[in-house]
């Protein structure tokens, strides 16, 4: 029982204090804020250690499954190899660690994101089919934007680039602001539920 009550108590106290200090610009509250930030950095560092340990254990268990073993073996070998390079040979400019990162990690990331472009094109094809009014408006807006940002658009109509810019700055920006307001309100509601102990899924179990 204490394993659940103690985390709830800590979250309530810290959530209340950090909320109050935001509205009370006093030297004491500012000192408390900096002190808590230092603690957060320490906790984040330990969380990284736990995450690495969890990653190692996860792939170690997957080594016993033939269908996952090759991928987990590559992940573990890469993890330990880069860790050894960083600890014993440094991570500065020109180091072997930096060269491995620039010549292996970055090309792999570029390859992965280039492959994602095909999935995005497939998803766009499915989403932009004019099945209803909303999908039709989305299709027209996407077409105008794509034509408006290339030189060919000027020859189709001189004002199409201005119309594309209007779509970005007016309806698109209005929708983005509405989404951000909704996200902000959702974050506030979720934070209050966690601080007050209503939401307890983060405790696990």
| Residue 76, number of CB atoms within 10 A of its CB | 17
What distance in Å separates the CA atoms of residue 195 and residue 152, rounded to the nearest whole number? 55
Give mean pLDDT, residues 47-55. Answer: 92
Q: Is 55's pLDDT higher than 70?
A: yes
Q: Is 205's pLDDT higher than 60?
A: no
What pLDDT was estimated at residue 56?
94
pTM greater than 0.85 (yes/no): no
Tokens of 143: 């077409």
Instruction: Report pLDDT digits (tens) over 78-119.
Output: 999 999 988 888 888 888 888 888 898 889 888 888 888 777
What pLDDT was estimated at residue 63?
92
What pLDDT was estimated at residue 75?
92
- Greater confidence (25 vs 129) lies with 25
Tokens of 197: 């102990």
What pLDDT was estimated at residue 130?
60
| Residue 19, number of CB atoms within 10 A of its CB | 13
Which of 138, 113, 108, 109 is closest to 126 using CA atoms?
138
| Residue 164, number of CB atoms within 10 A of its CB | 20
What pLDDT was estimated at residue 76?
94
Instruction: Report pLDDT digits (tens) over 70-82.
Output: 999 999 999 999 9
Q: Is 125's pLDDT higher than 90?
A: no
């Amino acid at each position: 029982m204490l394993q659940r009550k103690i985390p709830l108590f800590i979250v309530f106290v810290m959530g209340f204090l950090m909320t109050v200090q935001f509205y009370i610009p006093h030297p004491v509250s500012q000192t408390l804020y900096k002190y808590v930030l230092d603690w957060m950095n320490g906790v984040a560092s330990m969380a990284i250690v736990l995450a690495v340990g969890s990653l190692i254990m996860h792939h170690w268990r997957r080594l016993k499954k033939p269908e996952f073993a090759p991928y987990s073996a590559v992940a573990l070998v890469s993890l330990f190899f880069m860790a050894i390079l960083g600890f014993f040979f440094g991570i500065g400019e020109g180091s072997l660690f930096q060269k491995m990162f620039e010549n292996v990690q970055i090309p792999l990331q570029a390859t992965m994101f280039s492959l994602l472009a095909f999935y995005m094109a497939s998803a766009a094809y499915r989403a932009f089919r004019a099945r209803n009014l909303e999908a039709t408006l989305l299709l027209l807006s996407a077409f105008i934007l794509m034509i408006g940002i290339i030189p060919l658009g000027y020859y189709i109509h001189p004002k199409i680039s201005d119309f594309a810019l209007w779509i970005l700055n007016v309806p698109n920006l209005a929708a983005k602001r509405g989404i951000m307001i909704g996200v902000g309100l959702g974050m506030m509601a979720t934070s209050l539920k966690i601080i007050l102990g209503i939401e307890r899924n983060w405790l696990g179990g």
